[in-house]
Structure 1
C-alpha cells in the first residue's frame, strides 16, 4: 500500500472521530437548550445527535480500521 493511500485512510478515520465528537457536543447543546435549531423538538434531535455521534466517533473508526487492515503475509 502506498503512503498516499494510507494517509487518506488515516485522515478518513480521524475525520470520522472528529465528526462524531462534534455531533455529541452539538447534541448536548441542543438538549441543554443552549442552541435552538428545531424549536419544540430540540431535545429529541439532541439525543439523536448524541447517539449518532457516539456511533460515528467510537464504532465507525474501528470498523474502518478492521476493514482496511493489511492482511498477514
Structure 2
C-alpha cells in the first residue's frame, strides 16, 4: 500500500521501529499473562484468565510484524 511512489529513509526507519515496538509489546503482554496465570496477582493459586492473555500476546508478537510487513510491501512489478 504505497500509493506515493518510493519511500524515503525516514519512513523505513519509522516502520522498522513500529515493527519492533509491536514485537516488544506482544512480549510484554505474554509476560503479563504468565504473571496473572502463575501468581497470586488476581486470585490465590493463579487465574486461568492469564492463559488467553498470554496466547493473545504471543499471536500479536509473531503475527503483528508479519501483518505490518504485508501491508507495507511494495506491489510486485514496481
TM band (smaller chain): 0.7 to 0.9
TM-score of the superposed pair, with normalisation by structure 1: 0.81
CA RMSD of superposed structures (Å): 1.7
Can you give the 5+ residue segments of structure 2 that lack an aligned partner in the other structure?
1-6
TM-score of the superposed pair, with normalisation by structure 2: 0.76
State how far apart, in whole Å, the 2-side matches of 1:16 and 1:44 are. Answer: 25
Higher helix share: 1
State how far apart, in whole Å, the 1-side matches of 2:48 and 2:18 are. Answer: 29
Q: How many residues are matched?
A: 70
Partner of 2:65: 61
Q: Which has the larger radius of gyration?
A: 2
Can you give the 5+ residue segments of structure 1 that lack an aligned partner in the other structure?
none
